[in-house]
Amino acid sequence: MTPAPVIIAVDGRSGAGKTTLAVELAARLRQHHKVSLFHLEDIYPGWNGLMPGIERYVGTVLKPLSEGMAAEWTSWDWDKHYDGGLNVTLPAEIVIVEGVGAAADAARPMLDAVVWVEASGDERRRRALTRDGSTYEPYWDSWAAQEDEWLSSDQVISAADIRVQNLADGSAPDDVLRTLMYLPSVASILSPELSARRGLQLRSERLDATPDAELLFASLYGKSTNAVWLDSSNASAVAGRSQAAARSRFSILADDGGTFGQSALHRSGTTQVTAGSASVSTSGPFFRWLDSVWGRRAVRAPRGYDGQFTLGWLGYLGYELKRETGGNDVPSHTPDAALLFAGRAVVVDHREQTVWLLALEAPDAEEWLRAARTAVEASVSPAAGLAVSFNPGPAGLEFVSRDSATDYKRKIADSQHQISEGNSYEICLTTTLEAPAGGLDPWASYLALRRRNPAPFASYLRFGELVVASTSPERFLRIMSDGGMRAEPIKGTRGRSTDASEDAALRHDLETSLKDRAENIMIVDLLRNDLSHFAIPGSVTVSRLCAIESYATVHQMVSTIDAHLRPGAPRAEALAAAFPAGSMTGAPKISTMDILDQLESGPRGIYSGAIGYFSLNAATDLAVVIRTLVVNPDGNGGRTLSLGVGGAITADSVADDEYEEIRTKAYGVLSTLGADFPG
């Protein structure tokens, strides 16, 4: 008897393409493993034998194979319509079983992975009859009825680990193999495939060009279902080598297309990864999943390239991931995290006025580099600077607030009561403004926002119908490839004035405000503690304390905390130790998050989370999700537009002033949309 094999079932309705997929998958796995392949169509006892066939398969084939023994089974003679000869299927390192019922309820306890293959009914019939000809046609309806009866009582589809929308274009086997690597039940045996995946080669091209990023993104990714633009939209206003210019030096444009493209959505403990036509779901904490796909140096940066992003994952982490870092479990209306893996991307270096094209070596890399080069050249044409008109929709937008002015001020009083009781020092109280999105164009809205409110960490994210348009000025956390860490919290805000002397007075008022300095310093202390968990002892420093930075619509107070990651420390855990940003919770963090859950009347969702990248050289750079619009499907065929706003409450807070502060923070976004603060 040999050791028990890893058994993978490829199931689905007739004509979905299971057989071809299983054969091609077996061929790929045979490069590193011994593989046995069993087809259920060899054992069904006739055209009315689906359920008896499943019973035969489970008892005479699957059970012995799962125990590492040879399976002896009787085939069906389709010409004589009777039992045929005796056959033997030998166990192997990996066994693939395919056919309708391969993952039936009685089989699943003996399976390590279930792949469910899907295709439209018309397409399935066409494929099946093309394959089997006229012999199948008289039995198509009766066989389909048996499938319907079986599926009505068997939860095989919902139990599948991997679901494949089989386009019959040859992509499914590679897509399934990529998703199989995410399953803990089979990952260990696929270590050769995983090693091959990590042996990545990075191709690059440097172009001397200053493209119009709007046109470039629209040209390359305007039709992509999932795409990300990390947009240093204020780069032209902070030229030089200042710290502000360094934050705004690079912009990144990417989607999840090409050989290596993938996307990941996490909701309440389940991560779904989609690679082309295949999707796999795994259970477990998000940060544990992140640790499995990021944090190790897989590629080297190109010579002469100063950026930290060398391809990898881009997207957002929502605030409700706090359930994994000491907070309560609060369900969100949006995914708790949405990321795409970019195996190719465009990086704009605003300081050097160059463009870097980055692509992992793959069969389609050369074609993409050529197309990207053409797009860059086209985006620097004289027409590139044409303004894009913005129309918020024929009826405008009317926001409503989760909290009325009276409610919000009452919650301020409740926050101060918690502070007086010693349960917190500072509580970052937030609320949410919402409006029906109607005919709003998210892309045009973002273009208007980036012009009116340029910011170092602006971003535009599209994950299907979910769109995020952010003009965030605040860095949450940067971890460089060499382990350098930096957090730059913002606490303290004043609106701008068009009158120069009044604007200077507003800036001075913020600079000298004891209350704002106290808020900022408390968050600095919190972040020093957060970074210290995984930092080299003695490396945590505050290089800038309560500095004032001015943006298009606000002055803000910013501090900088630096540290250096301990060698070998898990980077995903170092990120988790600091998440969510202390500037969005208050201090101490865990007890204050609990208070906020009691005070706030619902989830924050993407707001208060983080947006950025997780690079293949183990670097990350994440912004705090503030000044951010979210367009999300409402589940009834419509869309909801939301904007989160908030401020830090201390014992010295004045309710009217705090309420005016959230109006100030919302103004830059709402005014761009032609909307007013509700109430």
Contact 399/675 with Cβ under 8 angstroms? Answer: yes
- Provide DSSP, 323-340: GGTT------SS-SEEEE
3-state secondary structure of 90: coil
Residue type for position 239? A
Global pTM exceeds 0.85: yes
Structure tokens at 313: 């994952």
Tens digit of each residue's pLDDT (9 = 90 or more) over 511-521: 999 989 998 99
Q: 22 pLDDT band (50/70/90 cuts)?
A: very high
Q: What DSSP letter does each residue of 153-219 carry, written as one string? A: H--HHHH-SEEEE--SSS-HHHHHHHHHTT-HHHHTTTHHHHHHHH---EEEEEEE----HHHHHHH
pLDDT tens-digit profile of 599-639? 998 999 999 999 999 999 999 999 999 999 999 999 888 99
Q: CA-CA distance, 530 to 525, in Å (whole number)?
A: 9
The pLDDT value given to residue 138 = 83
Residue 379, SS3 per DSSP: coil
Per-residue confidence band for 241, with pLDDT thresholds at 50, 70 and 90: confident
Backbone angles phi, psi at 532, to 5 degrees: -65, -20
Enter the tokens of residue 310: 């060398």
- For residue 2, which amino acid is it? T
> For residue 658, what are its two tokens?
């705090």
* CA distance linking residue 251 with residue 216, whole number of Å: 12
First to last CA, the chain: 75
Quote the crossing angle between the two packed helices 589-599 and 405-420, to the nearest 10°.
Answer: 150
Dihedral (CA of 435, 437, 440, 443) sign: positive
Could you give the C-alpha distances from 522 to 490, 554, 585, 589, in angstroms and in order?
A: 11, 22, 11, 11
Assign 383 a pLDDT band (cuts: 50, 70, 90). Answer: low
What are residue 444's phi and psi, to 5 degrees?
A: -60, -35
Q: Model confidence over 71-110: pLDDT tens digits?
A: 999 998 877 888 888 999 999 999 999 999 999 999 999 9
Q: Which helix (H) or strand (E) holds 273?
A: strand 270-275
Please tell me the predicted confidence (pLDDT) of residue 394: 41
Give the Cα separation of 4 and 67 in Å (integer): 5
Give the model's pLDDT for residue 552: 78
Question: Mean per-residue pLDDT for 541-545?
Answer: 95
**CA-derived radius of gyration, the chain:** 28
Contact (CB, 8 A) for 646 and 666: no
